[in-house]
Amino acid sequence: MNAITSAPAIRTVHVPLGERAYDILIGPGLIARAGAEIASRLKGRKAAVVTDENVAPLYLKALVASLDEAGIASAEVVLPAGEKTKSFEHLITVCDKVLEARVERNDYVIALGGGVIGDLSGFAAGIVRRGVRFVQVPTSLLSQVDSSVGGKTGINSRHGKNLIGVFHQPDLVLADTDVLNSLSEREFRAGYAEVAKYGLIDKPDFFAWLEANWKAVFNGGSARIEAIAASCQAKADVVVADERENGPRALLNLGHTFGHALEAATAYDSSRLVHGEGVSIGMVLAHEFSARMNLASPDEARRVERHLKEVGLPTRMSDIPGELPPAETLMDAIAQDKKVKSGKLTFILTRGIGQSFVADDVPASEVISFLREKHP
Ligand SMILES: NC(=O)c1ccc[n+]([C@@H]2O[C@H](COP(=O)([O-])OP(=O)(O)OC[C@H]3O[C@@H](n4cnc5c(N)ncnc54)[C@H](O)[C@@H]3O)[C@@H](O)[C@H]2O)c1
Ligand SMILES: [Zn+2]
């Protein structure tokens, strides 16, 4: 390890995927050091930096300057912010820019932004010239703890979210924890739902640590870095065990079946619900549903709800502003979700905090009665 990466405040999580192995660096000041970190690890000296209109005025200049200083020439692509950017139209724009900038296979696409920019530019990096290198500089909490790790990339189709894409692992992830200070509190909280998720999946001690330390995580500093590093480690472990989601990687979908149905029910209107908020409500529902199926004590669900509520996340369907469609419509959305096999539903259920498992034979009739109870 070189002198730069061993700076005390920086945490490194290694993702050991053989020839696709990479490091995730987590800590303050990483945008300013991005050029040096990239130049010391990757051969190429050309980059296309992709970002969005919110992030560009805040961090693009600093990133480009740092690349410049390290002798890396960069082209810039600034796209509109928001989920709609994960489209064919913007994919074409990014691919064209990458080719225009003469980014060769050893050069790289750099994603500077949240999960939208990461998913879209990772997809472009995966298909231009049959794959160029890819560096993630995630700037939202959600992207630092979730979407920048694991190599799932893609765009949305009119048939649903994330339906078109490739697996393309990044070569390096630089999670600069300072940039989270400009994230809205609501977006920070939404990302926090995914942090809590790792505890709920299989790390009960981490969940208990979050219950005790969440304020420090929100305030920044070393507790925040710890929580992000623990989350990246948790995700990396799952990805290494099952890179292409043939089995246990599905655990990362805890809370997401209900959450996605609620996102669809609100037409992806971020003024009503953002992804992490849907996941928060979805995780409470998954624990309550598990209790209803006599798999877990209802106390576990209450404890999950208490914590998520305390940090300010929505935990009930009634917390979503505006009218929700009836239980039957939510059920249709669940049935259309890709986790359905021959009539039976695949759900991530739990025996308690940190004891989740993949259940692939959940009767639809149980789900619909549960939804009717929760949303009469
Ligand atoms: N690939 C995966 O494994 C994976 C996993 C989870 C989620 N995702 C995807 O990630 C996307 C959601 O990611 P997201 O929540 O980061 O959304 P996002 O990229 O839309 O970012 C959220 C908002 O915050 C703004 N923003 C980002 N960083 C900022 C900063 N530092 N300061 C101020 N504003 C900032 C963005 O401009 C945007 O308006 C979804 O499309 C989802 O499907 C992918
Ligand atoms: Zn998620």
Q: Is 187 in the pocket of ligand 1 (CB under 6 A)?
A: yes
In a domain, 225, yes or no: no
Q: Which of 167, 182, 197 is the last residue of a domain?
A: 182
CA proximity to 285, closest of 264, 267, 262, 266: 262
Q: What is the DSSP string of 122-169?
A: HHHHHHGGG--EEEEEE-SHHIIIIITSS-B--EEETTEEEEE--B--
The alpha carbon of 365 and the centre of ligand 1 are apart by a number of angstroms equal to 35
- Model pLDDT, residue 228: 98
- Model pLDDT, residue 341: 61
Instruction: Tell me which of 87, 134, 187, 197 to substitute to probe ligand 1's pocket, judged by most ligand atoms within 8 Å of the beta carbon.
Output: 187
In a domain, 35, yes or no: yes
Nearest CA to ligand 1 atom 30: 183
Binned at pLDDT 50, 70 and 90, residue 7 comes out as very low
Q: In what order do the strands lie in the sheet with 356-362?
A: 340-341, 344-350, 356-362
One domain, residues 262 and 343: yes
Look at residue 212 and give its three-state secondary structure: helix
With a cut of 90, say whether residue 334 has pLDDT above it: no
Residue 213's H or E segment, with its range, is helix 204-219
- Model pLDDT, residue 9: 86
One domain, residues 17 and 147: yes
Q: 349: which strand partners?
A: 357
Ligand nearest to the CA of 282: 2
How many Cβ atoms sit within 10 Å of the Cβ of residue 160?
14
Look at residue 270 and give its three-state secondary structure: coil
Whether the Cβ atoms of residue 207 and residue 196 lie closer than 8 Å to each other: yes
Binned at pLDDT 50, 70 and 90, residue 5 comes out as very low
In a domain, 312, yes or no: yes
- Model pLDDT, residue 159: 78
Look at residue 220 and give its three-state secondary structure: coil
Which whole number is the average pLDDT over 102-114?
96
Q: Which of 137, 167, 182 is the last residue of a domain?
A: 182
b/e for 86-101, b at 16 or more Cβ within 10 A? Answer: bbeebbebbbebbeeb
Measured distance CA(189)–CA(278) in Å, rounded: 12
The alpha carbon of 267 and the centre of ligand 1 are apart by a number of angstroms equal to 17
Ligand 1 atom closest to the Cα of residue 190 is 15
Sign of CA dihedral 195, 200, 206, 211: positive
The alpha carbon of 140 and the centre of ligand 1 are apart by a number of angstroms equal to 6
The alpha carbon of 279 and the centre of ligand 2 are apart by a number of angstroms equal to 6
Residue 194's H or E segment, with its range, is helix 185-202
| % of the chain residues with pLDDT over 70 | 96
In the chain, the amino acid numbered 127 is I
Measured distance CA(151)–CA(147) in Å, rounded: 8
Measured distance CA(362)–CA(43) in Å, rounded: 49
Which whole number is the average pLDDT over 294-323?
97
Which whole number is the average pLDDT over 228-243?
95
Tell me the HSE value of 6 on the side-chain side, using a 13 A CA sphere. 3
Q: What is the DSSP string of 230-243?
A: HHHHHHHHHHHH-T
Ligand nearest to the CA of 183: 1
At 276, which CATH number?
1.20.1090.10
In a domain, 219, yes or no: no
Whether the Cβ atoms of residue 199 and residue 238 lie closer than 8 Å to each other: no
Which whole number is the average pLDDT over 141-154?
97
Which whole number is the average pLDDT over 294-310?
97
One domain, residues 143 and 280: no
In a domain, 362, yes or no: yes
One domain, residues 138 and 272: no
**What letter does residue 324 receive in the DSSP assignment?**
P
Sign of CA dihedral 136, 138, 143, 145: positive
Measure the N-to-C terminal CA separation of the chain; round to a whole number of Å: 58
> Annotated catalytic sites, by residue?
130, 152, 194, 235, 245, 249, 253, 256, 260, 275
With a cut of 50, say whether residue 376 has pLDDT above it: yes
Nearest CA to ligand 1 atom 33: 183
One domain, residues 265 and 138: no
Which whole number is the average pLDDT over 133-145?
98
Q: Is 263 in the pocket of ligand 1 (CB under 6 A)?
A: no
In a domain, 200, yes or no: no
For the chain, what is the mean pLDDT? 94
* pLDDT single digits (tens) 169-216: 999 999 999 999 999 999 999 999 999 999 999 999 999 999 999 999
* Range(s) of the domain holding residue 273: 254-376
One domain, residues 52 and 167: yes
At 146, which CATH number?
3.40.50.1970
Query: How many domains does the chain contain in total?
Result: 2
In a domain, 282, yes or no: yes
One domain, residues 266 and 157: no
b/e for 165-188, b at 16 or more Cβ within 10 A? Answer: bebbbbbbbbbbbebbeebeeebb
One domain, residues 176 and 273: no
In a domain, 359, yes or no: yes
Sign of CA dihedral 62, 147, 226, 311: positive
One domain, residues 39 and 162: yes
- Model pLDDT, residue 160: 78
Q: Which of 124, 148, 182 is the last residue of a domain?
A: 182
One domain, residues 76 and 164: yes
Look at residue 346 and give its three-state secondary structure: strand
